[in-house]
């Protein structure tokens, strides 16, 4: 197998915590009288918590002080974390565990590259933390995707050149970040939305071992 580094986004790629984010943001939006739909939630994929709040405020044409924003950000995170208490390996998306195991068995370096500030506890709760050699999350970066910072840090920590790194992403911003970093971008989800990716798969169950070997 060709020696590559494999970098995974978290939300929508490894686990589906997007629904929990949506419910927590919707609660904030409802308090402010802002209509916030699942379609609007697509705008928040791969985006930092601070920017997500700004997008919601823009949707409602609302302005807020920094103090108010800090209060809502804290509330959103507390609501989100309260929903993760009962999280376990059932939250891992189909095919993900098999791909992680295959990569690990073939001694391929694996990293997490996510905007989430709760990545480590989520990986612990789902029982897959040990598969990752490196974790780069929202606590380690200053720039949100499509800035490639999170992926470049991960590749550097794995001691791999960007062109030898493979990125699994479900957001447009994440795919753009991987492409800007000159990495191999693999979209997980809808081909029409993730058309900028080099490869797109509906989910991990349709990614073959042969495909991974030939990357």
Question: Active-site positions?
Answer: 9, 11
Ramachandran category for residue 47: left, alpha or beta (phi over 0 → left; psi -120 to 50 → alpha)? beta
Our measurement of the distance from residue 40's CA atom to the centroid of its chain's CA atoms, rounded to an integer in Å, reads 17
Angle at 157 between CA 173 and CA 50, to 5 degrees: 35
Q: How many CB atoms neighbour CB 16 within 10 A?
A: 13
Residue 210 exposed, middle or buried by CB count within 10 Å (0-12, 13-18, 19+): exposed
Instruction: Give backbone dihedrals phi and psi of 41, rounded to 5 degrees, phi first.
Output: -60, -25
18: which DSSP letter? H
CA-to-CA distance for 84 and 183, rounded, in angstroms?
32
- C-alpha–C-alpha distance, residues 206 and 215, integer Å: 15
Vertex 127: Cα angle to 188 and 164 (nearest 5)? 45
Q: Which phi and psi angles does 169 have, rounded to 5°?
A: -140, 150
């Amino acid at each position: 197998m060709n020696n590559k580094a494999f970098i995974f986004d978290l939300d929508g790629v490894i686990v589906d915590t997007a629904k929990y984010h949506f419910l927590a943001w919707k609660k904030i939006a409802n308090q402010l009288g802002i209509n916030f739909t699942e379609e609007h939630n697509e705008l928040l994929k791969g985006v930092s918590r601070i920017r997500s709040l700004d997008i919601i405020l823009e949707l409602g044409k609302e302005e807020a002080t920094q103090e108010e924003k800090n209060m809502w950000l804290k509330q959103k995170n507390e609501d989100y974390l309260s929903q993760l208490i009962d999280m376990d390996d059932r939250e891992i998306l189909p095919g993900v565990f098999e791909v992680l195991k295959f990569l690990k068995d073939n001694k391929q370096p694996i990293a997490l590259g996510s905007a989430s500030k709760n990545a480590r506890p989520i990986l612990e709760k789902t029982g897959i933390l040990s598969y990752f050699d490196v974790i780069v999350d929202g606590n380690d970066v200053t720039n949100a995707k499509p800035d490639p910072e999170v992926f470049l840090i991960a590749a550097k920590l794995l001691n791999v050149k960007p062109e030898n790194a493979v990125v699994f992403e479900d957001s447009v911003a994440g795919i753009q970040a991987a492409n800007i970093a000159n990495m191999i971008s693999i979209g997980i989800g809808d081909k029409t939305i993730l058309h900028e990716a080099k490869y797109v798969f509906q989910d991990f169950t349709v990614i073959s071992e042969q495909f991974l070997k030939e990357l």
